Amino acid sequence: MPGVRVRFAPSPTGELHIGGARTALFNYLFAYSEGGKVVLRIDDTDLERSRSDYIDKLIASMHWLDLEWDEGPYYQSRRLDKYTGEAERLLAENKAYRCYCSAEMLAEGRSEARKESKAYLYPGTCRELTAEQEEAFQKEGRVPVIRLLTPDQGNTVVRDEIRGEVSFENANLDDFIIIKSNGLPTYNFASVVDDLQMDITHVIRAEEHLSNTPRQQLCALALGYELPKFAHVPMILAPDRSKLSKRHGATSVEEFYSEGYLPEALVNYMALLGWSPDAGGEEEIFSLDQMVNRFDLYKVTKTAAVYDVTKLSWMNSHYMREYDLNRLTEAAVPFFEQKSLVEAPLNNEEYNYLKQVIAAVRERAKTLVEMADISTYFYHDRFEYDQKGVQKHFYKENAAQHILKAAEELQKLEPYEKESIENLYRTLSEELGISTGRLIHPTRLAITGRTAGPGIFEIMALLGRERTVERLKKAADYIEKNLPQK
């Protein structure tokens, strides 16, 4: 048996949608779990809607997700002779015919069908044209399309690897167009010619294409090739079970990138949209390689998968916690840049500082965007104090004196580092006869503007003596000025 060969065949008419990326992923998982090959094919025969910048973005998104391929990208727009060649062969074998029906004639038929609330089916008007009739039409300047001659009776049965047998009545499949009057192939025809010529063994794609499959099978049959196997993967719905769209937040891989998700988290999450490695579905965290080892096409569900951003965020925080710190730092740079916290390229000192900031905050953020958001005080000295915190911690008895005293002691502390700062705080609070919390809370607010965050001694060490002391003094000043008079 020839090895498994799958293809991922996006149309470059928009950014790579999460549904498309999940299709790519399932192709990847299946092919590599079977020791097969992945072909990347760009379906760009819709010349008006296809754009080269979308192709670049699509490829960038695939690389970012680490969904690599073995062959391609092949471009359909560069293979037009293959489609016309095969169509000519079908014409010669009387399996297809030229149709000269005018747009008006077809429109009339369509409007009739609409009146009767029926789907329009081409009635086969040009099936039996003689050579003379064709010549006369051509003299009139009519440009034909090419239609496939399809059976009027019987059924076309699609054997879907996930859905089982799905039967379509041939009476509902008319003689559809395979080459348009502009010489370009239709999707159904180009797709089949490529699948056959590229020796694709398994066509794994979105459920919405199931209804195209009988037409594609009829094309394959006419072309005289063996059919690939088909597997249609379930749709991804929004939480309210409507079609997933912009109003549900990020939907394209690029948007997920911009919102600060890590590729491993997105891939892991997407894999579980319609597939689970075990019946109970307890295990949820998998690397791409682990998924390849476990993937089973026959465990992909028939029912739609529901997108759940909370779960994706949870996975993302998991990967943010577990990531190699250098990789996480590199991934975070653009997000810190966006907030004007750093400027790339970073020198060694800046990079090491960022790395320590990230080590401190990584557990507290669900995305890289959030991570940059909660890190601003590591870079900016000016920030607002959380007002609830002000009431609670700054306006407590003697808070200003306490933090000024801490500032004074910190000024002399040797060495100035996390452990020694912590010891100082413990000793000082004892001396002052207050709980350590009474010292720590106003300190945190003074230094970060916030009431919660990473370990305060770590932050103080990172910020350095000078900035820490400055911030404490500034806060003491603020308290003196703003303390409500009794």
With a CB cutoff of 8 Å and minimum separation 6, the contacts of 84 are 179, 183, 185
Count CA atoms closer than 13 A to 191's CA, side-chain side.
26
Tokens of residue 404, six digits: 């000024």
Compute and round to an integer the Cα radius of gyration of the chain: 32
Q: Which of 115, 118, 139, 246 is catalytic?
A: 246
CB of 349 to ligand GLU, least distance (A): 47
Note whether 393 and 399 are within 8 A (CB): yes
CB of 202 to ligand GLU, least distance (A): 11
Count CA atoms closer than 13 A to 203's CA, side-chain side.
29
CB nearer to ligand GLU: pick between 203 and 341? 203
With a CB cutoff of 8 Å and minimum separation 6, the contacts of 263 are 64, 65, 66, 257
What CA–CA distance (Å, rounded) separates 187 from 14?
17
What CA–CA distance (Å, rounded) separates 161 from 298?
7
Tell me whether residue 246 is one of the annotated catalytic residues: yes
CB nearer to ligand GLU: pick between 10 and 277? 10
CB of 216 to ligand GLU, least distance (A): 8
CB nearer to ligand GLU: pick between 76 and 468? 76
What CA–CA distance (Å, rounded) separates 266 from 269?
5
CB nearer to ligand GLU: pick between 9 and 460? 9
CB of 198 to ligand GLU, least distance (A): 12
CB nearer to ligand GLU: pick between 24 and 266? 24
CB of 106 to ligand GLU, least distance (A): 24
Task: Give the burial string for 307-346 (b: 16+ CB within 10 Å, else e).
Answer: bebeebbebbbbbbeebeeeebbebbbebbeeeebbeeeb
Note whether 89 and 222 are within 8 A (CB): no
Note whether 33 and 272 are within 8 A (CB): no
- What is the 8-class DSSP label of residue 212? G
CB nearer to ligand GLU: pick between 193 and 404? 193
CB of 181 to ligand GLU, least distance (A): 21
Task: Tell whether the torsion through CA atoms of 311, 314, 316 and 319 is positive or negative.
Answer: negative
Residue ranges that bind ligand GLU, judged by CB under 6 A: 9-11, 43, 191, 205, 209
Rounded to the nearest 10°, the torsion over CA 90, 93, 94, 97 is: 30
CB nearer to ligand GLU: pick between 18 and 354? 18
CB of 75 to ligand GLU, least distance (A): 12
Q: Which residues are catalytic?
A: 246
